[in-house]
Structures are given as C-alpha cells and as structure tokens.
Amino acid sequence: MPHHLVSIADLEAVEIIRILDHADAYWSLASEPIKKLTSLRGRTVINMFFENSTRTRTSFEIAAKRLSAEAINISASASSTSKGETLLDTADNLEAMFPDCIVVRHSFGGAAAMLTKEVSCAVINAGDGQHEHPTQALLDAATIRRNKGKVEGLEIAIVGDISHSRVARSNILCLAKLGARVRLVAPWTLIPRGIELIGGDLTRERVRVVTRLDEGLEGADVVMMLRVQHERFEGEAPRFPNTRELSRTFGLSERSLAYAKPDAIVMHPGPINRGVELSPQVADGPRAVILSQVSWGVAVRMAVLERAILGPEAWPAARPAAA
C-alpha cells in the first residue's frame, strides 16, 4: 500500500515526528563526501511539475538520487498538457511506465488528491494551488526543531499573503499539531475569514489572527515571512493599495524584527522578494535560517520519499525526540 502525502491534515503528530526524526538522520549525510544510500535502489520517482519551482523540484530530485532511485522530471511546458492532454490522462500514461512514486505540483488545489484515486503508485503533493504544500511545512518544522530544540510551546508568527499561501495552510496545521502557537499577521484583506478554524478545535485554540505587525511580532520565537503571490491575484479586486505600502506596513526590517524575541529566527519558503516582504539586511542577517530551510528540504524529502514508497514500517523504531 503506498503512503501518499497529500496534506498535513492526514498526518498525526506522532507521524510528523517520525518523519522529522528520520530527516535528522539524513541531515548529517549532506556533510559526508559520499552522499548516497541504497534504500530506493531500482525505484522510479517521477517529478511532475505544472507550476514553476526551483527549490522543491531540485530537492526532490536530489533526495531521490541520494537514496539511489531513478528520478525523472517533467515540466508543464515539456509535457503533453500543453497539447491539451488532461492531468488524469497524463497520470495514466505515466502510470503505464510503472513508477513507484509521482511527485506532483499543480495550480489546482486538489490535484494530488485526485491522482491518488487514479494511480496505484505513491503520490506526494509538492504544492496544489492555494491548498497545501506539506513537505514545506515538514522542512520548516525540522528547521525550527534544529534551531530552537523544539516546536512545542513556541510562538510563531506567519506574516504576509496568507490568503494565497499553501505554505501557510500546511504550516498552520503542522505547527498546531506539534504544539506551537501561531499568529497569522497581515491586513484583513490578505487573511481568509475563518482560517484559524482550518484544523477544527486544535487550530481554534492555537491560532490567532493579528492585523498589526508590531503586535503580531511581539515576543515571537519564529518569524516566517511570505511572498505576495501576485500570480494568484488574477481577476481579484485589489487587496492593498500598492506593494510599497504593504512593504512599509508589513515588511520585516531590522527595526520591526526588534518586536520579536532577541533570539527569534527568521524564515521564508522562497522565492524571496528582497526589499518587499524582507529587507536585504534581515534576509542576509545572522537570524535568517532561510538557506538552512533549503538544506532541510533535501533531508525531509528523503524521509518522505522513503515513507511513501517503502512505508514507515521499513524504518527502524523512531528515536524518542522532542517535537
């Protein structure tokens, strides 16, 4: 039975911790001269990306190769969808070549879930529209755990375009499940009404909406900045007067970062719009862990690929670790 990964909503906290523990083991592999394991030898992973990606696609490919799987990349422009083929027909055709796992990114929220009904191999969601980006939330949790020693009990501010962000949705669920408190910080127009209920009672208790940057950052242990996803605004009424004004009121500078705890870390899923949501001083400063998030992306995706193809049963008993 494949272990799909479509949504953080489908994972219990213990399963999240198990994935993070296994990612910990793969983290140290990055500093070895030979970065190769053999657990997925002879397996085939197809990365099917219908939206742009730098970090996610590359790290899935590296992760598959580090586990000795064959990794094949297909992008929208190079696939037959640009000739009118449907997503399901494309998936059926790929399935006929017997891959072990399809990693999919698509602008349609629900694309990965739809594929799980169509194909018999494992499916991993690498971002579906505005819905979820589960591996981003897992690598974010791994980064926080490494820098703060835990996730439980931390105050985490997610700042920016919450409305269009699948990263925010996956992170809200993941961080709440791991016992953090989350503030969603943005103008009202960039926060969907009722988002704090996305995970039912759990998120109702742990998530709050704050519409001022200073209040949202006050005492935060982690500040996670989001890009304004202009590509998702098409056909919508303007949500803020202009980017400069949004940047002035909700952008993170050294001055606004001072509201957070003195040892707060700064995160961003990338791509960064320098000078918009994040000043270059903060982006390149000592408190930014943005590149470390990218490194964790490989380790976490190795764990996720192994879990999807082999199942968590193949893993040795998880080491006990703080969430």
Report the residue number, 166 or 301, with the smaller CB distance to ligand ASP. 166
- Distance, in Å, from the CA atom of 145 to the CA atom of 135, rounded to the nearest integer, reads 15
Tokens standing for residue 186: 């943005």
Contact 203, 196 (CB under 8 A): yes
What crossing angle do the helices spanning 134-148 and 290-310 adopt, rounded to 10°? Answer: 120
Pairing of strands 44-49, 70-75: parallel
- Contact letters for ligand ASP, residues 141-180 (x by CB under 6 A): -------------------------xx-------------
**Across the chain, where does the E strand assignment appear?**
44-49, 70-75, 101-106, 122-128, 155-159, 181-185, 207-210, 222-225, 265-267
Task: State the burial class of residue 70 (Cβ atoms within 10 Å of its Cβ: 0-12, 13-18, 19+).
Answer: middle
107 binding ligand ASP? (CB under 6 A): no
Report the residue number, 50 or 259, with the smaller CB distance to ligand ASP. 50
301 binding ligand ASP? (CB under 6 A): no
Report the residue number, 270 or 312, with the smaller CB distance to ligand ASP. 270
127 binding ligand ASP? (CB under 6 A): yes
229 binding ligand ASP? (CB under 6 A): yes
Q: What angle do CA 79, 8, 46 make, to 5 degrees?
A: 25
Q: Of these, 2, 216, 269, 297, which contacts ligand ASP (CB under 6 A)? A: 269
- Phi, psi at 193, each rounded to 5°: -60, 135
Closest CA to 103 of 310, 264, 309: 309
DSSP code of 293?
Answer: H
Residue nearest to ligand ASP (CB): 227
Report the residue number, 3 or 57, with the smaller CB distance to ligand ASP. 57
297 binding ligand ASP? (CB under 6 A): no
At its nearest, how many Å lie between ligand ASP and the CB of residue 260?
21
106 binding ligand ASP? (CB under 6 A): no
Q: Of these, 227, 246, 257, 290, which contacts ligand ASP (CB under 6 A)? A: 227
18 binding ligand ASP? (CB under 6 A): no
Report the residue number, 133 or 181, with the smaller CB distance to ligand ASP. 133
At its nearest, how many Å lie between ligand ASP and the CB of residue 167?
5
133 binding ligand ASP? (CB under 6 A): yes
Interface residue list for ligand ASP (CB under 6 A): 127, 133, 166-167, 227, 229, 269-270
